[in-house]
Amino acid sequence: MATLSSVGALTRPAGATTVVPMDWPTLSRQASLIVRAKVRETEVFRYPNEDRLWTRIHLEDVEILHARAPLAWTPETLRSFSIVQVGGSRDGITDRVPGTIAYRAGDEVLLFLEASPEDWVTVGIGLGTFFVERPPTCPPDRLDCARLAPANPSTFVSDVEFQARSAARSAADWIRDIAAYQ
């Protein structure tokens, strides 16, 4: 699998993690990479010398919206791009971590990501995940008729305000705002 390299030495999330709520501008500034993509599949695994389960989320149709550091992007990289999150279920064992997201094949997502030594992870565990919701009349190539829904609304500051504003704003409007916060 192709890997992406980024500037900085970050570590995988710790065993005990506190998620700090963030608003849209803070989340946008915190992310090293922001992408829109579709979930192709998920797989649960263990890193060598670790007991904890992890889930790798394989993405397709990746669109880069923002990248803080220069990255080595190739068509192959984007075809095999994935993120990881702590937790998962495998062989009758479940390792559940509050704040993680249950990604499903076919989900269209907006992801705010940061680098770890081996992989990309969402900012604030699941805080950096938004689902793109489309009414049946909204074609997949358009965002002006789609809406964003925080995957983890309990950790999103002013979620009531976000939901109220989201009803009146398209996903395209929210994505345009990202550049303003960099």
DSSP per-residue string spanning 58-119 = EEEEEEEEEESS-----HHHHHT-EEEEE-EEETTEEE--TT-----TT-EEEEEEEE-SSS
The span from the CA of 105 to the CA of 134, in Å, is 16
Read off the pLDDT of each residue in 162-174 and give the average, rounded to a whole number: 68
What is the rounded average pLDDT of the residues 144-165?
69
Rounded to an integer, the average pLDDT of 84-89 is: 93
Per-residue pLDDT of 110-150, as tens digits, reads: 999 998 877 899 998 888 999 999 899 999 888 888 888 88
Q: Flag the least confident range among 26-35, 42-51, 103-112, 162-171.
A: 162-171
Name the residue with higher pLDDT: 139 or 161. Answer: 139
pLDDT band for 88, please (50, 70, 90 cuts): very high
How far is it, in rounded angstroms, from Cα 4 to Cα 69?
11
- Map out the domains of the chain as residue ranges: 24-180
Average pLDDT, the chain: 79
Q: Is the pLDDT of residue 3 over 50?
A: no
Q: Which two tokens stand for residue 156?
A: 């999103």
